[in-house]
Amino acid sequence: MRVAVIGAGKMGLPLAAFMASRDLTVAVCDINKELVEEINSGHCPIEEPGLPEILECSVADGNLVATTETVEAVCQADVVVIIVPALINDEYDIDLSVLESVTEQVAEALHPGLLVCFETTVSVGTVRTRFVPILEQSGLKCGEDFHVCFSPERVKSRMVLQRLSETPKVVGGFNEKSCRLGEEFYTRALGAEVLDVGTLEAAEFTKLVGMLYRDVNIALVNQISRYAETIGMDLGRIIPAANTNGEAHLLLPGIGVGGHCAPVYPWFIIRDAERHGVDLTLAKTSRSLNDGQSEHVVQRLEEELGGLTGRRVLVLGLAFRPQVKEPAFSPAFLVREALAKRDAEIFLHDHHFTAGEIGDHGFRTGELDDPDGWDALVLVTGHRRYRDLDFKSLAAAGLKVVVDGRNLWSPDSIRDEGLSYIGIGR
């Protein structure tokens, strides 16, 4: 079986390498020539546990090759998997420009018998109404001459290979035969359980409602956290107890929600619902609550210090998730916005990024042991490195307030050093 995976990014490359490790012949396509050369040299360009080993082996045995020639790769393929970004525009609506461009390339090389699988998260109905017509510009008819399925990626950075082998793969098709072919392909390519949900639209909807659930759940605990803070309760004890009844599954509160998924995908369904005359008020409120956590926490810091003008604040963490070098929609940006409008002096530390990379994202680099000291620390990312900070030395250098945006530390141990502690839901 010959597969062309279009998109050699943090999700596409592991997918391609995993399929190649299962003895499929895989061409992974990308417009980045340097990236393609690096892959073909057997070197892994991204940090993902287990990936360097299977990539090196798959390149060496000829099962995996990278290329910039997408049309040529599609010509030679039995199956095409499209996993390139869907962006979000200034109106919080989906931007399909990259996906449409790639689909046009696939249409150039479309041939009878080809199965085209879309994995990028999109609004309900997008594949059938936007991408299938582009493919049919080839003169071939979908569902007869070629087939289309949608199977949303369901993985996470630093857990991609594990998720590919263990997480059930959702598949929906243009018609019944497309569903069957998609199910057969993913069973062979991944070895995981495959869930046939019937239609393209059902598979698109499955991914969106899963992400929406997560966002709403976090918003619920974030809102509850403000109540807990007011009445002096610690949600760190309440939530685990509440979740033991078999009916609740409360997630954890925090300083904000980041990443490519949770802050973005709910908007795809919110905006499409509006076009259908449905107002998803709970979904919109959840987005507002989660994005508003940074402002809420910075306001608490302002009250604790009696103002932030000229105060030196060190933000800990640019990454949206611990141990992942990825800043997409990180709460650090919203924290910076909230601090900036209060005229604080803002610095950032994240050992996963170079000083240049931190600067490229609009922050000044700061170090924990800066001789001028800090008025406040604001934890955004719960990296392991931050778990055992020397708060005694930090206090001696002038630190006054610790904002624990991930409830990483013991409040008592920090207060014992004479510092003020601000936690979430504490």
Q: Is residue 42 within 8 Å of 56, Cβ to Cβ? A: yes
Q: What is the pLDDT of residues 208-242, one digit of tens each?
A: 999 999 999 999 999 999 999 999 999 999 999 99
DSSP H/E element including 95: strand 94-95
State the CB neighbour count (10 A cutoff) for residue 51. 20
**Residues carrying CATH 3.40.50.720, the chain:** 2-192, 287-423
Q: Are strands 345-349 and 364-365 parallel, antiparallel or unpaired?
A: parallel
d(CA 332, CA 346): 11
Token pair belonging to 413: 């141990």
The reply to whether CATH 2.160.10.10 applies to domain 2-192 is no
Section 250-256 average pLDDT: 97
Q: What is the pLDDT of residues 4-27, one digit of tens each?
A: 999 999 999 999 999 999 999 999
Kindly report the pTM of this predicted structure.
0.94
Token pair belonging to 28: 């992974």
How many H-runs (helices) and E-runs (strands) does the chain carry? Answer: 17, 16
Section 68-91 average pLDDT: 96
Overall CATH class of domain 287-423: alpha beta
What pLDDT is stored for residue 87 in this prediction?
A: 87
* Percent of residues, the chain, with pLDDT higher than 70: 100
Q: Is residue 315 within 8 Å of 336, Cβ to Cβ? A: yes
What pLDDT is stored for residue 56 in this prediction?
A: 97
Mean pLDDT, the chain, whole residue set: 97
At 83, the pLDDT band (50, 70, 90 cuts) reads very high
Q: What is the pLDDT of residues 327-386, one digit of tens each?
A: 999 999 999 999 999 999 999 999 999 999 999 999 999 999 999 999 999 999 999 999
d(CA 171, CA 149): 7
Q: Are strands 94-95 and 87-88 parallel, antiparallel or unpaired?
A: antiparallel
What pLDDT is stored for residue 117 in this prediction?
A: 98
Q: Is residue 121 within 8 Å of 208, Cβ to Cβ? A: yes
What pLDDT is stored for residue 125 in this prediction?
A: 97
What pLDDT is stored for residue 136 in this prediction?
A: 98
CA 401 to the chain's CA centroid: 30
Q: What is the pLDDT of residues 63-77, one digit of tens each?
A: 999 999 999 999 999
pLDDT at 267 over 90: yes
d(CA 169, CA 195): 6
